[in-house]
Structure 1
Amino acid sequence: MSLLNSQYDALMRQYDEKREIHRHEQLDREEEIDRVLPEYRALTDKISSLSVEAARIRIFDPQADLSSYTYELERISEKKKALLVSHGYPADYLEMQYDCRICRDTGFMNGERCVCFRKAATQLLYREYDISDILEKENFSHFSFDWYSDTIQIESTGRTERQFAREACDKAQQFIKKIGQPDNNLFIYGNTGVGKTFLTHCIAREVIENSHSALYFSARDFFEILADAVFERDGRDGSYERMILDVDFLTIDDLGTEVTSSFVSSQLFFVLNERIRRNRSTIISTNLSPMDLSQQYSERIFSRIISHYSIARLVGNDIRLQKKIHGGNS
């Protein structure tokens, strides 16, 4: 699991708040019992007195037989529980309560992150990933090869639409398994409506389920954020831009739909190059082929993608149009 420092800190603050809330609740219950059952407090004081007495004896005589103290302490503890139950309270009414009894709301168990931490991290990542609602519908369980012809061969390749789609999915699965490894990047290209964005959403769902940090941007939003940072617009402090460089998984969707300029080209190169250097995984989806990319942006960007990205192509008819004509949601 890999979270940004700010995300990890946010989760740990949640655990601190949980423990504080439950501690206050426990104090409230103790005050209630002191008020309703004064004899319970007397038993508690008796346990404290016996414990201190036994400890004093142990200090002066480490070999002393304290079995009678042990017996009496256990007897009083059972009497306390019985007293609570006889007045309609659970036997553990005064014990600290936890949302997670495995880790006792610390987030860790035996030095490992608890299952509740992993669940909380996944929920946090979904909230911060801008298209979390879409991921409920657009994921591998809803991905269908039926929208890709298994008979129509693509000129110059001799391969069918479905073969291209299966190869793209295979590369997507490899990408998911290798998040954080060197040169684990994916460039998905093809005409409008052939499932590029859908596939990136499928990948995002799996990556987030594995509790990796993720960000999604359309190309236009992506470059607008970078421009705001460079030109210090909207009072930005640069934290969001640092996240772009550090996040485990970055998606830039529909590259080529933004207004291109030397600024766009230089910023794109900087981000791609820096993320390659940091072993951060990136997906680019676009209508542009790699060769088109070199013409629209720069040879340097083309070189980085050819050298450090796996290339996947999707071909076929517009799936959205097919769904309207034939019906279906897959």
Structure 2
Amino acid sequence: MALTVSQYNSILRQYEEHQTRNRHLHDQRLHHIYETVPGYQALDEAVASTSVAQGKKMLAGDTNALAQLKDQLKDLAQKRAALLLENGYPADFLDPIYDCPDCQDTGYVHGQKCHCFRQAEIALLYEQSNLKRMLEKENFGTLSYSFFQGDELTSYRQAVEKCKNFCTNFKTSYQNLFFYGTVGTGKTFLTNCIAKECIEQGCSVLYFSAASLFDLLARNTFDYRAREELSALCADLYGCDLLVIDDLGTETATAVTLSHFFTCLNERLLRQKSVIISTNLSLEDCRNRYQDRIFSRIASNFEFCKLTGPDIRMCKKVSAVSGPVR
């Protein structure tokens, strides 16, 4: 799971491309302002000349030079902002341009990987999961209520609203969701909707089917050569903004992998990192299948969302043959 040198360098090259593109865009804006806003270039040049003049005073021992320089630069900045506003441009039109203002397109904040770097890293590491292509098809924009009626339609609408609220409040409110119910009622679809919204907010999202997650934990646990990879995997599992575990109950579980699963859940709860779980199992089956300490963590810290209704996948197949549902 750890990045190779070439993978790490490929992400850094992306940041270099962002920096180059944004510097070019800033230069274009500056050239445009010089040509269209009379007096702006002179104010810009005054910043350099003032800095040089006050610098000479500081070298000569003038103790007031630094304070004077700050006041003069502040005055020049205010004049430049006012000149932009007078000519119909926002005051920050010539501020530095960044894809990620948090790290200023460096990938790091105070020596730690920025959330945008983590998302780029995760996208690279899990490209084989085909998540991006899946989310292009399954999102709130493609959501349909056509296959639900009556109380099931009301319940599904409420579930959708709950998911949208989860996304809206994701960065300000810690939440966990547990989707359960019968097969084909839209549980995976709704988790995909949430994943897409959170990714577009710049949050790091890890998405696993339960089977692939438990298989990955098992392979890394029993291969002594993969201990570093297991450590990197755990760091991602514990630290990403949102962890999605789809289809819980389809995995092959052992005492060791269940222990890892418990540790993962517990660590994320302690760190207040959100988790979404979906399953076709009933709550009683979940209680019987998993250790009490796992189910108690879920029962105490997740909001349950039950989905019932027709098997949408089957309905779509029938609809494709006989025509659209009316």
TM-score, shorter chain, exceeding 0.5: yes
Report the secondary structure of 1:264's partner residue. Answer: helix
2:285 corresponds to: 292
Describe the shift of the 1:54–1:126 C-alpha distance in structure 2 as closer, same or farther (beyond 3 A). Answer: closer
Pairing 1:187–2:178 present: yes
| TM-score after normalising by structure 1 | 0.62
Gaps of 5+ in 2: 1-6, 24-48, 63-92, 108-113
1:172 corresponds to: 163
CA distance in 2: counterparts of 1:54 and 1:186, whole angstroms: 62
1:231 corresponds to: 222
CA distance in 2: counterparts of 1:312 and 1:325, whole angstroms: 27
- Deviation at residue 267 of structure 1 after TM alignment: 2.1
- Deviation at residue 184 of structure 1 after TM alignment: 1.0
Asked if 1 retains the 8 angstrom alpha-carbon contact of 2:247 and 2:278, the reply is yes
1:55-74 alignment to 2 at 5 Å?
A: none
2:312 corresponds to: 319
Q: Decide which structure has the larger Cα Rg and report it.
A: 1
Describe the shift of the 1:199–1:56 C-alpha distance in structure 2 as closer, same or farther (beyond 3 A). Answer: closer
Report the secondary structure of 2:266's partner residue. Answer: helix
- Deviation at residue 175 of structure 1 after TM alignment: 2.2
Pairing 1:199–2:190 present: yes
- Deviation at residue 303 of structure 1 after TM alignment: 1.1
Report the secondary structure of 1:147's partner residue. Answer: coil
Pairing 1:217–2:208 present: yes
- Deviation at residue 121 of structure 1 after TM alignment: 6.5
Q: How many residues align?
A: 247
Structure with higher helix content:
2
CA distance in 1: counterparts of 2:115 and 2:55, whole angstroms: 46
Describe the shift of the 1:56–1:146 C-alpha distance in structure 2 as closer, same or farther (beyond 3 A). Answer: closer
Describe the shift of the 1:102–1:122 C-alpha distance in structure 2 as closer, same or farther (beyond 3 A). Answer: farther
Q: Superposition RMSD on alpha carbons, in Å?
A: 4.1
Asked if 2 retains the 8 angstrom alpha-carbon contact of 1:219 and 1:256, the reply is yes
1:102-141 alignment to 2 at 5 Å?
A: 103=96, 107-108=100-101, 124=120, 130=129, 131-141=131-141
CA distance in 2: counterparts of 1:254 and 1:56, whole angstroms: 66
CA distance in 1: counterparts of 2:278 and 2:154, whole angstroms: 19
Describe the shift of the 1:201–1:20 C-alpha distance in structure 2 as closer, same or farther (beyond 3 A). Answer: closer
1:243 corresponds to: 236
Percent identity between the aligned chains? 37
- Deviation at residue 14 of structure 1 after TM alignment: 3.8
| TM-score after normalising by structure 2 | 0.63
Describe the shift of the 1:181–1:22 C-alpha distance in structure 2 as closer, same or farther (beyond 3 A). Answer: closer
CA distance in 1: counterparts of 2:99 and 2:199, whole angstroms: 22
2:38 corresponds to: none
CA distance in 1: counterparts of 2:234 and 2:99, whole angstroms: 31
2:148 corresponds to: 148
AA in 1 matched with 2:288:
Q
1:39-118 alignment to 2 at 5 Å?
A: 103=96, 107-108=100-101
- Deviation at residue 12 of structure 1 after TM alignment: 6.3
- Deviation at residue 19 of structure 1 after TM alignment: 5.3
Deviations 1:206-242 (A, max 9, x none): 0111111000011111012222332235634121221
1:9-20 alignment to 2 at 5 Å?
A: 14-16=14-16
CA distance in 2: counterparts of 1:265 and 1:286, whole angstroms: 16
AA in 1 matched with 2:188:
T
Describe the shift of the 1:127–1:194 C-alpha distance in structure 2 as closer, same or farther (beyond 3 A). Answer: farther
Deviations 1:182-206 (A, max 9, x none): 7510000112211111111001010
- Deviation at residue 310 of structure 1 after TM alignment: 0.5
CA distance in 1: counterparts of 2:313 and 2:20, whole angstroms: 51
Describe the shift of the 1:304–1:182 C-alpha distance in structure 2 as closer, same or farther (beyond 3 A). Answer: farther
Describe the shift of the 1:162–1:126 C-alpha distance in structure 2 as closer, same or farther (beyond 3 A). Answer: farther
- Deviation at residue 22 of structure 1 after TM alignment: 10
AA in 2 matched with 1:187:
F
Q: Which moved more, 1:130-139 or 1:171-180?
A: 171-180
Describe the shift of the 1:123–1:307 C-alpha distance in structure 2 as closer, same or farther (beyond 3 A). Answer: closer
Describe the shift of the 1:310–1:20 C-alpha distance in structure 2 as closer, same or farther (beyond 3 A). Answer: closer
2:303 corresponds to: 310
Describe the shift of the 1:312–1:12 C-alpha distance in structure 2 as closer, same or farther (beyond 3 A). Answer: same
AA in 2 matched with 1:314:
L
